[in-house]
């Protein structure tokens, strides 16, 4: 009995030592990393992570989906070393990293856009970019200023979050000023915007295209049953021939007026899992995931089929 007890003890010690040595060493295809993802691009990165972790089973990518401002702040605090965002580092951020002998790598992975959505019963789904700008600035406040026959009353324009990439796009790209209409409102997420618009007939919501572009995703199709996607025109008057929705073909040929680039920013100085995951997203397989999600991959060839829809 004593020999059996000693043998059992020795086996237990070996098992404990063995378990302590099973910590996965970080490589481009193994280990654990934490990343921050702009909320408008969250669904696609979640799909990328699912496939990546299926292929590389020793890799764990923990993604924090948050407003873009928060993602940059997390990286500046070294809470994460990789983010997915709709802009590159600015000079102040670059200088901050360089002062610490860190030289972040920026990689364009996709092109999506800013989508405008309205209630499913709203007939006014053809708008000009000038109208959008004037709504944001508070110069257009009521639906009858767009369509004299409209009975919808005041326009309620909704953002996802004050710190989001969509809010940043409205300020810096569409309007070029921070003096936006005091009538604008913000909720918490793209999902909240869709929910609000689906219940509010006089509203316009601003969201990332990836939330509504994947026609093979049942969740996305459920969203589209509740709202309409606005077609936008760069001309002074919007009609069916000069107005375009934010889908792949129109992002690719420049007909949709509000595209934006999506970047991976990697501040990890070593060649580890951040580098491996970024390389996967930029690879043929990772780019096909973006393509199937309904937005424009940065490198994947795109076969464009023009289909004109009824808005």
| Domain ranges within the chain, ordered by starting residue | 24-111+260-297, 113-257
Q: What is the pLDDT of residues 272-294, one digit of tens each?
A: 999 999 999 999 999 999 998 88
Q: What is the pLDDT of residues 138-161, one digit of tens each?
A: 999 999 999 999 999 999 999 998
Positive/negative CA dihedral, 152, 156, 159, 160? negative
pLDDT > 80? residue 176: yes
Domain made up of 24-111+260-297: CATH architecture: 3-Layer(aba) Sandwich (3.40)
pLDDT > 70? residue 2: no
**Helical spans, DSSP H, in the chain:** 2-20, 42-55, 68-76, 91-99, 129-137, 165-169, 190-199, 218-224, 248-252, 273-282, 284-292
Identical fold for domains 24-111+260-297 and 113-257, yes or no, is yes
Q: What is the pLDDT of residues 80-139, one digit of tens each?
A: 999 999 999 999 999 999 999 999 999 999 999 999 999 999 999 999 999 999 999 999
Say if CB 185 and CB 159 are below 8 A apart: yes
- pLDDT-derived band at 178, boundaries 50, 70, 90: confident
Q: What is the DSSP letter of 166?
A: H
45, 80, 174 from 140: Cα distances, Å: 36, 41, 15
**Helical spans, DSSP H, in 122-265:** 129-137, 165-169, 190-199, 218-224, 248-252
pTM: 0.83
Q: How many CA atoms lie within 13 A of 297 on its CB side?
A: 22
Q: What is the pLDDT of residues 47-84, one digit of tens each?
A: 999 999 999 999 999 999 999 999 999 999 999 999 99
Q: Does 219 or 79 have the greater pLDDT score?
A: 79
CATH number for the domain formed by residue range(s) 113-257: 3.40.190.10
């Amino acid at each position: 009995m004593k020999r059996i007890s000693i043998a059992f003890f020795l086996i237990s010690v070996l098992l404990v030592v063995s378990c302590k040595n099973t910590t996965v060493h970080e490589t481009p295809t193994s280990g654990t990393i934490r990343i921050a993802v702009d909320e408008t691009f969250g669904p696609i990165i979640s799909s990328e992570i699912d496939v990546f972790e299926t292929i590389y089973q020793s890799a764990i990518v923990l993604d924090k989906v948050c407003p873009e401002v928060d993602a940059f702040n997390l990286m500046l605090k070294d809470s994460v070393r990789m983010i997915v965002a709709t802009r590159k580092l600015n000079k102040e951020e670059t200088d901050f990293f360089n002062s610490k002998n860190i030289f972040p790598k920026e990689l364009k992975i996709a092109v999506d856009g800013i989508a405008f959505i309205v209630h499913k019963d709203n007939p006014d789904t053809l708008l000009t970019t000038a109208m959008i700008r004037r709504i944001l600035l508070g110069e257009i406040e009521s639906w009858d200023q767009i369509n004299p026959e409209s009975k919808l009353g005041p326009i309620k324009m909704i953002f996802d979050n004050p710190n989001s990439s969509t809010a940043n796009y409205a300020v810096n790209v569409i309007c070029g000023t921070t003096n936006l209409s005091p009538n604008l409102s913000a909720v918490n997420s793209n999902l909240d915007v869709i929910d609000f618009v689906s219940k509010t007939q006089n509203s316009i919501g601003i969201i990332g295209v990836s939330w509504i572009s994947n026609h093979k995703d049942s969740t996305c199709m459920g969203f589209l049953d509740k709202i309409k996607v606005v077609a936008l025109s760069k001309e002074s008057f919007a009609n069916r021939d000069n107005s375009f929705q934010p889908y792949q073909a129109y992002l690719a040929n420049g007909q949709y007026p509000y595209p934006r680039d999506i970047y991976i920013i990697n501040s990890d100085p070593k060649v580890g899992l951040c580098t491996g995951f970024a390389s996967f997203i930029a690879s043929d397989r990772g780019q096909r995931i973006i393509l199937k999600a309904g937005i424009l991959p940065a490198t994947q060839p795109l076969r464009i089929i023009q289909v004109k829809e009824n808005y």
